[in-house]
Amino acid sequence: MLGERCLVMGVLNVTPDSFSERDRFQDPAAAAAAAQAIEAAGADLIDVGGESTRPGADPVSADEERARTVPVLKALRGRISVPLSIDTSKADVARAALAEGASLVNDISGLRYDPPLARVVADAGAALVVMHMRGRPDTMYEEAVYDRLIDEVIAEVRASIGAATDSGVPLESMVVDPGIGFAKRASHSYGVLARLAEFAAALDRPVLVGPSRKSYLRDASGGRPAAERDWASAAAVTAAVLGGAHIVRVHAVAEMVQVVRVAEEIRRLSHQP
């Protein structure tokens, strides 16, 4: 599935407090309709999330997260043809989601919050995204201190890969994510994007990048709120594709599909004599 073509992952938030207000869907029927629209817009896979991970977000229990996501996954059975991902760091939520048809677990914590999650993924034969993160959403900026940014990010993601393989997740089932906007100041997020090829080469795994609408874009976009940062997001998506991303996680799917296809052409020709 992962090759020369960069895949577009559409975001489906089923939470009342996502930072991107116009992409919140709490009713399962409305969420299912939104997922169908995301697929029709050109998404290659859809990431379903039941807990906001925006800076300062309050945590929710596994029971609440399951109550938000499982009915949506049930509603999507037979109505969506692209793969579904569950955006969770909780083993219990992942287990329930995988039982309802999800095939990928997208863990922002890199297995640091709930290590048994790795065994759940291994037992299900699912794929796993391990992302770079420090702390939790309400404390992560306190830990955004780096002496050697890209080296530290690589080392910490490598540790997450080791934890996953120790629990039985095959290396070939893993995708890595440098964690744009997570435990990183704006300069760190731009720095990671600028050196994404180095990150990818060091870890030798497919790379997912989630640059869409995040706060690191605020100043460069003239202080615009999240829902108005799609032009800025397009620039970051282009940089991600040129840096070798295999998957980009975005909100404005139809627009970013065009951005990705153009960036892919530039990337393809950059390797020709």
Give CA–CA dist 239/230, Å, rounded. Answer: 14
What sign has the CA pseudo-torsion 107, 239, 186, 52? negative
Decide if 249 is catalytic.
yes
Active-site hit among 184, 205, 213, 214: 214
Active-site hit among 90, 95, 213, 249: 249
CA atoms within 13 A on the CB side of 76: 34
Decide if 214 is catalytic.
yes
Give CA–CA dist 154/139, Å, rounded. Answer: 21
Query: Which positions ≥6 away from 186 have C-beta within 8 Å?
Result: 215, 216, 218, 219
Give catalytic residue positions.
214, 249
